[in-house]
């Protein structure tokens, strides 16, 4: 097989020297094998040429136009600029080329081309800078085909990557098929080499989909096999920290101003049963935003503490960790929870404070440690860590979870996640964990009222916000950027805050929050907001995960069109957390019909499941990959929603394979065994990390 060749360095390829080789190394491509696995980020479609009146801003369009008037050439400093206009019966487009003086001679007024490039609008005009020009007969055979778009680095062009990949395939000639034939046939999957080739160079959308499915299946099968083998090893880990139910939790549940929902109660029973059982807990709590997961963490931490152990809660952001810390402190005071001694450990602490907290942890002076990934640094030594909880698990890489658990011996693990995955899939994909699903929102909540509107609606929105503030509620406004000048036409927190201060009545207290602020400053702002000292908080997405201020009833999101639907759902989840009616205003700043259509689902549903599914269906071939690349369950090409059938099949196939060959020792399972034993980012391994 071509395995040895695939280990060869990319500079072995003709046309790639040391310099280009270094650029490839920079993007993580060292060998020919790496190159074959350097998948496109998306594809550009060679579309049917449009009419000028159908052009759309900011996307790549192809348009059949005839050059009109004269071709001009001028110089601005060192730059030579060639410009002309081209038109059809529906409109005109300005074309500009930089440093291409030769064009003046080759381009003739009256000739017709297909121009393909990014469309911009300058005033009343559409324009294209440096469009590719095709003769009409040259473009015709390309229509419908896809061109790969690779993630690049400065100095490395898409074309260079394309050529290199193409050449690498020559060495891959003998790449071996390793998937059992029976599986390929049953699922109509194409061959391995063919799939690799077509993921780079699909002739059309169908070919791309076939390639993607085959490679997705590889990922799922290997993933599930890993889980199965892992589970065999870890199922029998003894409970080193057995616990009993304690009076403090029962008392807290009686005193809280609300009763747990049925779903919360079931999850709490699951947790208690685990902690008392003979085996260590490995549990995932899955529940949509606002379903009330935090109280389950609190109850578990109290149980650990009252049993004489330490417990830790890790959050993905400092802002959220600090909030948990503050809210736990106030609950401890309010309900007199004497057994719980909390500490906060984040990167934001001064070196001195950090040392002090670390001392308290190692000497066992504190037993409930809340923090960010600062909790898992080597320097932190726990006295008797029995329970680790990760909040917003979907925001962490899996490795982090593993390392965290590795801080203690046979530590109980509770992961809390808001990823909306159907139960049947969750059981497969979190095969190593037991799962509790919190599928009920606390009663008495009024569904959030939504509206998706254009920028013209802002004055009405501001008036509404002022009224809500006057009635005692609080408001979030989200802008994508921090400061001015980052991107045209995109709102930023700093300017927006100033503008709002000038627009809203003086009595409204408006503050801002963003990632460039000092941690102490961020904490101060969040605390002030929680205390109601701030009425309107203008923020970036730093508040996206976990933040809980039930008195906030309005969420206004500027440039909604720039966010993913699932992200919008998380942001919206910051309101609707109390009994008051809440509202979410999505401002759509683009005049693109597709954006409007996409956002409309936010109007129609408050359900994370529904939104995740629609999110997926609305994606085009241009953005197949990379949408869900953060957090865990990030497969390179597989998408657990879109390919849910394959996920299910892979689970059954994994069981079939392991039932005949439990340790993958048969020769036909050689490659599978190799794949299963390589560590990959989406591998959950509590036992060895
Ligand atoms: P999430 O699941 O998104 O982490 P939280 O745990 O932050 O949700 O809970 C959201 C809000 O709901 C909090 O203000 C919390 O106090 C409240 N809450 C939790 N459980 C209940 C319940 N059973 N009834 C009423 N309110 C609840
Ligand atoms: Mg939460």
Nearest CA owner, ligand 1 atom 9: 292
Who lines ligand 1 at CB under 6 A? 258, 260-261, 264, 287, 289-295, 442, 548, 550, 577
Tell me, in angstroms, the distance from the centre of ligand 2 to residue 324's CA: 9
Query: Which of 253, 301, 442 for mutating ligand 1's site (highest number of atoms within 8 Å of CB)?
Result: 442
Residue where one domain finishes, among candidates 403, 438, 473: 438
In a domain, 584, yes or no: yes
Nearest CA owner, ligand 1 atom 18: 292
User: What pLDDT score does 307 carry?
Assistant: 97
Residue 485 pLDDT greater than 90, yes or no: no
Nearest CA owner, ligand 1 atom 17: 292
The answer on 24 and 133 residing in a single domain is no
Q: DSSP 3-state assignment of 683?
A: coil
User: What pLDDT score does 229 carry?
Assistant: 80
Residue 325 pLDDT greater than 80, yes or no: yes
pLDDT digits (tens, 9 = 90+) for 391-400: 987 676 554 4
Residue where one domain finishes, among candidates 438, 470, 501: 438
Ligand nearest to the CA of 315: 2
The answer on 374 and 480 residing in a single domain is no
User: What pLDDT score does 623 carry?
Assistant: 43
**pTM of this structure:** 0.73
User: What pLDDT score does 123 carry?
Assistant: 77
C-alpha 30/C-alpha 11 separation (Å) is: 9
Nearest CA owner, ligand 1 atom 26: 442
The answer on 454 and 307 residing in a single domain is no
Residue 681 pLDDT greater than 50, yes or no: no
- Of the ranges 169-173, 410-414, 651-655, which is most confident? 651-655
Average pLDDT over residues 127-131: 93
Ligand nearest to the CA of 442: 1
DSSP 218: H
User: What pLDDT score does 616 carry?
Assistant: 63
For 267, the enclosing helix (H) or strand (E) is helix 262-276
Average pLDDT over residues 71-95: 91
404 vs 313, 390, 408, 427, 432, CA distance in Å? 10, 9, 8, 22, 16
Ligand 1 atom showing the smallest separation from residue 289 Cα: 3
The answer on 453 and 433 residing in a single domain is no
Nearest CA owner, ligand 1 atom 5: 292
pLDDT digits (tens, 9 = 90+) for 46-71: 889 999 999 988 888 999 999 998 88
User: What pLDDT score does 19 carry?
Assistant: 93
pLDDT digits (tens, 9 = 90+) for 562-603: 888 888 998 999 999 888 999 999 999 988 887 888 899 999
User: What pLDDT score does 626 carry?
Assistant: 37
Tell me how many domains the chain contains. 4
In a domain, 535, yes or no: yes
Residue 230 pLDDT greater than 90, yes or no: no
Alpha helices in 13-102 (DSSP H): 18-26, 32-36
Residue 244, number of CB atoms within 10 A of its CB: 10
In a domain, 109, yes or no: yes
CATH number at residue 4: 1.10.150
| Cβ atoms 312, 388 nearer than 8 A | yes
Tell me, in angstroms, the distance from the centre of ligand 1 to residue 52's CA: 53
Average pLDDT over residues 87-104: 90
In a domain, 489, yes or no: yes
Lowest mean pLDDT of 5-14, 223-232, 564-573, name the range: 223-232
Query: Which of 265, 294, 551 for mutating ligand 1's site (highest number of atoms within 8 Å of CB)?
Result: 294
| Cβ atoms 685, 228 nearer than 8 A | no
Label residue 335 by pLDDT band (50, 70, 90).
very high
Residue 88 pLDDT greater than 70, yes or no: yes
Nearest CA owner, ligand 1 atom 11: 577
The answer on 399 and 454 residing in a single domain is no
Which domain covers residue 521, as residue numbers? 449-605
Average pLDDT over residues 676-689: 43
Tell me, in angstroms, the distance from the centre of ligand 1 to residue 258's CA: 9
Average pLDDT over residues 295-320: 95
| Cβ atoms 315, 401 nearer than 8 A | no
Nearest CA owner, ligand 1 atom 20: 292
Taking alpha carbons only, the member of 149, 109, 115, 131 closest to residue 47 is 115
Residue where one domain finishes, among candidates 605, 634, 666: 605
């Amino acid at each position: 097989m071509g395995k040895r060749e695939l280990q060869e360095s990319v500079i072995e390829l003709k046309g790639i020297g040391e310099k280009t080789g270094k650029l490839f190394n920079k993007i993580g491509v060292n060998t020919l094998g790496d190159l074959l696995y350097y998948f496109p980020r998306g594809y550009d479609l060679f579309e049917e040429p449009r009419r000028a009146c159908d052009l759309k801003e900011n996307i790549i369009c192809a348009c059949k136009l005839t050059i009109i008037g004269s071709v001009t050439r001028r110089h601005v400093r060192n730059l030579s600029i060639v410009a002309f206009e081209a038109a059809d019966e529906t409109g005109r487009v300005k074309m500009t080329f930089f440093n291409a003086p030769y064009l003046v001679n080759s381009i003739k007024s009256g000739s017709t081309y297909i121009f393909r490039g990014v469309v911009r609008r300058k005033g009343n005009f559409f324009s294209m800078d440096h469009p590719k020009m095709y003769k009409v007969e040259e473009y015709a055979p390309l229509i419908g085909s896809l061109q790969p778009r690779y993630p690049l680095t400065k100095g490395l062009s898409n074309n260079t990557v394309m050529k290199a990949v193409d050449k690498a395939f020559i060495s891959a000639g003998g790449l071996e098929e390793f998937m059992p034939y029976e599986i390929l046939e049953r699922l109509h999957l194409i061959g391995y080499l063919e799939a690799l080739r077509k993921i780079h160079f699909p002739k059309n959308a169908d070919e791309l989909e076939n390639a993607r499915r085959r490679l997705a299946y590889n990922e799922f099968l290997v993933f599930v096999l890993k889980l199965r083998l892992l589970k065999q090893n870890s199922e029998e880990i003894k409970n080193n920290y057995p616990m009993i139910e304690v009076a403090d939790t029962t008392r807290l549940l009686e005193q809280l101003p609300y009763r747990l929902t049925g779903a919360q109660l079931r999850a709490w029973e699951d947790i208690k049963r685990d902690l008392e059982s003979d085996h260590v807990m490995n549990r995932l709590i899955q529940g949509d935003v606002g379903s009330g997961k935090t109280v389950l963490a609190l109850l578990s931490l109290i149980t650990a503490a009252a049993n004489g152990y330490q417990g830790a809660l890790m959050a993905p952001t400092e802002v959220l960790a600090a909030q948990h810390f503050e809210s736990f402190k106030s609950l401890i005071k309010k309900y007199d929870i004497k057994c719980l001694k909390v500490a906060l450990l984040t990167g934001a602490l001064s070196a001195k404070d950090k040392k002090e907290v670390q001392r308290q942890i190692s000497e066992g002076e504190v037993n409930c440690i809340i923090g960010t990934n600062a909790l898992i640094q080597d320097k932190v030594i726990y006295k008797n860590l029995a329970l680790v909880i990760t909040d917003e698990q979907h925001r962490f890489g899996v490795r982090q979870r593993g390392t965290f658990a590795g801080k203690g011996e046979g530590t109980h693990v509770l992961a809390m996640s808001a990823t909306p995955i159907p139960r049947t899939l969750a059981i497969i994909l979190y095969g190593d964990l037991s799962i509790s699903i919190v599928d009920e929102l606390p009663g008495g909540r009024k569904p959030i009222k939504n509206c998706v509107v254009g920028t013209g609606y802002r004055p009405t929105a501001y008036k509404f916000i002022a009224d809500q503030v006057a009635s005692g509620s609080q408001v979030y406004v989200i802008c994508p950027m921090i400061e001015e000048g980052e991107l045209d036409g995109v709102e930023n927190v700093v300017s927006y805050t100033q503008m709002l201060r000038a627009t809203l009545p003086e009595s409204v207290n408006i503050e801002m929050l963003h990632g460039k602020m000092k941690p102490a400053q961020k904490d101060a702002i969040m605390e002030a907001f929680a205390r109601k000292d701030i009425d309107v908080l203008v923020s970036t997405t730093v508040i996206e995960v976990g933040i809980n201020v039930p008195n906030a009833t309005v969420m206004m999101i500027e440039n909604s069109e720039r966010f993913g639907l699932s992200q919008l759902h998380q942001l919206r989840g910051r309101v609707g957390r109390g009994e008051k009616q809440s509202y979410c205003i999505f401002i759509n700043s683009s005049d693109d019909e597709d954006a409007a259509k996409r956002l409309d689902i936010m109007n129609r549903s408050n359900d994370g499941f529904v939104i995740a599914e629609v999110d997926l269906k609305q994606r085009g071939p241009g953005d197949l990959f990379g949408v869900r690349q953060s957090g865990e369950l990030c497969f390179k090409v597989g998408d657990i929603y879109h390919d849910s059938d394959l996920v299910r099949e892979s689970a059954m196939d994994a069981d079939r394979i392991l039932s005949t060959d439990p340790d993958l020792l048969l020769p036909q399972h050689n490659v599978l065994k190799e794949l299963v034993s390589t560590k990959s980012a989406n591998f959950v391994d509590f036992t060895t990390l």
